[in-house]
């Protein structure tokens, strides 16, 4: 009799079909939809934050998701503290800011987290590269063009060897330490042989430790091979670069690293770790309270370091029936987008990553990635991976066209009627007799289901609209029951 109870599995708290909220009487938004990603558009004051942003945030919080919240505006921390109180998640909040006790050494965490694929130099290099890309390359659109590609490859090689040296000599992996290795690497064979230089060079000291560990059998066969490569790089390859080339390669790293190597950022990201992406995966709500509005570029660095670290942890995790969804939530997301997001978003679906990106329009994203064709392609790839698009009121032509293209065209029939005749047409029209040709019929055309100009007519909340915020919701891959299309209009109510 009890066999039935034994066999029956309790439904998982986070089963994909579980509804998080209802758009209307017929259509739900499920955990599956959340984990397909959401991008929200809307002009300033259109109701993104107080309409769809609030709805998504509070329903994900109620469902117990872990969160990484990236802040641009100074009031976002308080907004999230309020959301957490309202949804019974107050205990789970971690406010990561200079005023609090939390610290996160992102590089060291990546090196030591122990999971499969963790601790590998490429992950650490990619983490640093993503921060550098944001710092150095945005305005130039660096990354794909001729001469830029050379410097990027050379910088990557330098970083790779510096990180490997720290790993193989068992030192802490941090931006300041990577910086020290690069800044103290030898510039000439003479310098390499000089006692004074050897005594003062951090790079040389780490090479000695690496050698010693090899001799003592503290590193395995594969690492011994890597150690030989590292030694060759710093004693030959890097040293033989023309001085001008070398200074460009070094400076593309050092300029950005010097920002991370001082003040608030050094304290927060290069000392110890008492909070990490593992906490986010286990249900904490980490609010990165260095709003870009107040902290400028330091806020961008902080957000991107956290975002990349959580992304890497998500990609590594094993997913089973009881795995908790995690949301990377970014209002004003143009500040935190990077070219590498596209590849993460295309692979994160199965990892229960419920990303929410809000921004005014597509141009914001493209400008943030450096404009041009490469940036446009990256943005289209990022947005193409969002399973749900929500569009609030907007007059941006490009965003309207993008939405209308995603929604698609339909066959429409235009009726036409024409009349022609001789000089006595006016007479025919008055009911008289005369020669007259009339043609009538239909022509077929493929038109947008929703014209780009339609978005300008949506309500934007506030007292004027009785707190009602309108939106168009588009989804990839299924039909809404209420509209029998892959898009529908909906109205959200702002908080009282």
Ligand X SMILES: Nc1ncnc2c1ncn2[C@@H]1O[C@H](COP(=O)(O)OP(=O)(O)OP(=O)(O)O)[C@@H](O)[C@H]1O
- Pairwise CA distance, residues 300 & 256, whole Å: 12
Of 179, 247, 240, 167, nearest to 207 by C-alpha is: 167
| Minimum separation from the CB atom of position 354 to Mg ion (A) | 19
Asked if 34 and 354 touch (Cβ cutoff 8 Å), the reply is yes
Q: DSSP E strands: which ranges in 33-184?
A: 38-41, 66-70, 93-96
CB of residue 40 to ligand X, shortest distance in Å: 9
In the chain, helix, strand, coil percent, each to 5?
50, 15, 35
Q: Which helix (H) or strand (E) holds 57?
A: helix 54-62
Could you give the CA distance from residue 361 to residue 43 in angstroms, rounded to a whole number?
A: 7
- For residue 161, the partner it binds in ligand X, Mg ion, none, with Cβ less than 5 to 8 A by kind, is none
* Shortest Å, Cβ 486 to ligand X: 24
- Element of type H or E holding 19: strand 19-22
Query: 431: alpha, beta or left, given left = phi > 0 and alpha = psi -120 to 50?
Result: left
Residue of the chain from 27, 39, 48, 123 that contacts ligand X (CB under 6 A) = 48
Q: Burial code of 135-149, b = ≥16 C-beta within 10 A, e = fewer?
A: bbbbeebbbbeeebe
Name the residue nearer to ligand X (CB basis): 205 or 467: 467
**394 touches ligand X by CB under 6 A:** no
- 83 or 269: CB nearest ligand X: 83
Closer to ligand X by Cβ: residue 332 or 378: 332
- Is residue 47 a contact point for ligand X (CB under 6 A)? yes
Q: CB under 6 A: which stretch of 37-45, 166-174, 232-240, 364-372 binds ligand X?
A: 37-45
Task: Annotate each residue in 466-485 with x if it binds ligand X (CB under 6 A) or - if it does not, as one string.
Answer: -x------------------
Q: Pick the binder of ligand X from 19, 45, 118, 283 (CB under 6 A).
A: 45
Binding range to ligand X, per CB under 6 A, among 24-32, 175-183, 446-454, 460-468: 460-468
Stretch in the footprint of ligand X (CB under 6 A) among 48-56, 118-126, 322-330, 421-429: 48-56
44 vs 445 by CB, closer to ligand X:
44
**Residue 74 interacts with ligand X (CB under 6 A)?**
no
Asked whether the beta carbons of 471 and 409 are under 8 A apart, the reply is no
Q: Which is nearer to ligand X, 31 or 288 (CB)?
A: 288
User: Could you tell me how many residues of this chain bind ligand X (CB under 6 A)?
Assistant: 16
Pattern of binders to Mg ion over 36-55, x per CB under 5 A? ------------xx------
Question: Is 82 one of the binding residues for ligand X (CB under 6 A)?
Answer: no
475 touches Mg ion by CB under 5 A: no
Q: How far apart are CA 158 and CA 94, in angstroms?
A: 35
Asked whether position 224 contacts ligand X by CB under 6 A, the answer is: no
Of 17 and 75, nearer to Mg ion (C-beta) is: 75
**Partner touching 461 among ligand X, Mg ion, none, CB below 5 to 8 Å by kind:** ligand X
Tell me: does residue 361 bind ligand X (CB under 6 A): no
- What's the rounded Cα separation, in Å, for the pair 93 and 287? 7
Written as six digits, the tokens of 286 are 């980490």
Is 335 among the residues that bind ligand X (CB under 6 A)?
no
Contact in structure between 143 and 137 (CB atoms under 8 Å): yes
CB 362 within 8 A of CB 383: yes
H or E element that contains 161: helix 146-168
For Mg ion, the closer of residues 12 and 395 by Cβ is 395
* Residue 380 CB, nearest approach to ligand X (Å): 22
User: Shortest distance, CB of residue 205 to ligand X, whole angstroms?
Assistant: 50
Task: Please say whether the beta carbons of 70 and 328 come within 8 A.
Answer: yes
The CB-of-470 to ligand X minimum distance in angstroms stands at: 12
Give the chain's radius of gyration (CA, Å): 29
Among 12, 15, 44, 188, which residue interacts with ligand X (rule: CB under 6 A)?
44
The residue from 309, 460, 475, 490 that contacts ligand X (CB under 6 A) is 460
Min dist. Cβ of residue 335 to ligand X (A) = 12
Q: Report if residue 495 touches ligand X, rule: CB under 6 A.
A: yes
Measured over all CA atoms, what is the biggest interatomic distance in the chain, rounded to whole angstroms? 114
CB of 70 to Mg ion, least distance (A): 13
**Contact by Cβ (8 Å): 309, 280:** no
Stretch of 222-230, 422-430, 433-441, 459-467 lying at the interface with ligand X (CB under 6 A): 459-467
Minimum CB distance to ligand X, residue 339 (Å) = 24
Identified binder of ligand X from the candidate list 36, 49, 97, 364, rule CB under 6 A: 49
Residue given tokens 């570029």 in the structure block: 297
- Are 281 and 274 within 8 A, CB to CB? no
In 318-387 the beta strands, taken as DSSP E runs, fall at 326-330, 356-359
Residues that bind ligand X (CB under 6 A): 42, 44-51, 360, 460-462, 467, 494-495
Residues that bind Mg ion (CB under 5 A): 48-49
């Amino acid at each position: 009799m009890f066999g039935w109870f034994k066999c029956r599995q309790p439904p998982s708290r986070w089963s994909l079909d579980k509804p998080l909220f209802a758009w209307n009487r017929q259509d739900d938004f499920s955990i599956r939809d959340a984990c397909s990603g959401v991008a929200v558009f809307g002009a300033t004051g259109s109701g993104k934050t107080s309409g769809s942003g609030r709805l998504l945030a509070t329903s994900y919080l109620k469902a117990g998701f872990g969160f990484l919240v990236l802040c641009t505006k100074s009031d976002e921390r308080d907004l999230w503290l309020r959301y957490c109180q309202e949804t019974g998640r107050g205990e789970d909040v971690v406010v990561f800011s200079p005023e609090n006790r939390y610290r996160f050494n992102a590089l060291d965490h990546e090196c030591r987290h122990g999971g499969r694929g963790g601790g590998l130099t490429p992950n650490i290099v990619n983490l640093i590269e993503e921060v550098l890309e944001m710092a150095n390359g945005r305005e130039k659109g660096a990354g794909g063009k001729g001469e830029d590609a050379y410097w990027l490859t050379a910088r990557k090689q330098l970083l790779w060897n510096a990180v490997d040296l720290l790993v193989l000599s068992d030192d802490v992996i941090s931006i300041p330490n990577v910086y020290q290795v690069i800044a103290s690497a030898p510039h000439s064979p003479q310098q390499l042989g000089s006692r004074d230089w050897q005594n003062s060079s951090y790079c040389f000291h780490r090479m000695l430790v690496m050698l010693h560990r090899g001799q003592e059998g503290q590193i395995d066969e594969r690492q011994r091979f890597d150690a030989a490569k590292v030694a060759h790089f710093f004693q030959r390859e890097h040293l033989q670069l023309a001085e001008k080339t070398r200074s460009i390669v070094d400076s593309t790293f050092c300029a950005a690293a010097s920002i991370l190597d001082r003040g608030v950022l050094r304290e927060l990201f290069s000392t110890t770790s008492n909070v990490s992406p593992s906490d986010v995966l286990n249900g904490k709500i980490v609010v990165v309270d260095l709003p870009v509005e107040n902290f400028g570029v330091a806020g961008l660095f902080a957000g991107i370091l956290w975002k990349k670290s959580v992304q890497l942890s998500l990609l590594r995790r094993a997913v089973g029936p009881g795995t908790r969804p995690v949301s990377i939530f970014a209002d004003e997301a143009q500040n935190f987008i990077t070219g590498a997001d596209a590849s993460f978003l295309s692979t994160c679906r199965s990892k229960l990553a419920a990303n929410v990106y809000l921004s005014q329009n597509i141009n914001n994203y493209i400008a943030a990635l450096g404009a041009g064709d490469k940036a446009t392609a990256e943005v289209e790839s990022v947005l193409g991976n969002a399973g749900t698009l929500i569009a609030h009121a907007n007059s941006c032509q490009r965003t309207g066209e993008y939405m209308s293209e995603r929604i698609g065209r339909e066959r429409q029939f235009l009726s036409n009627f024409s009349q022609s005749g001789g000089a006595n047409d006016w007479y025919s029209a008055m009911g008289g007799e005369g020669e007259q040709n009339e043609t009538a019929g239909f022509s077929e055309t493929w038109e947008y289901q929703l014209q780009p100009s339609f978005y300008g007519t949506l309500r934007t909340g506030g007292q004027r609209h009785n707190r009602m915020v309108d939106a168009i919701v588009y989804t990839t891959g299924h039909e809404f029951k209420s509209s029998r299309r892959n898009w529908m209009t909906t109205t959200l109510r702002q908080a009282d």
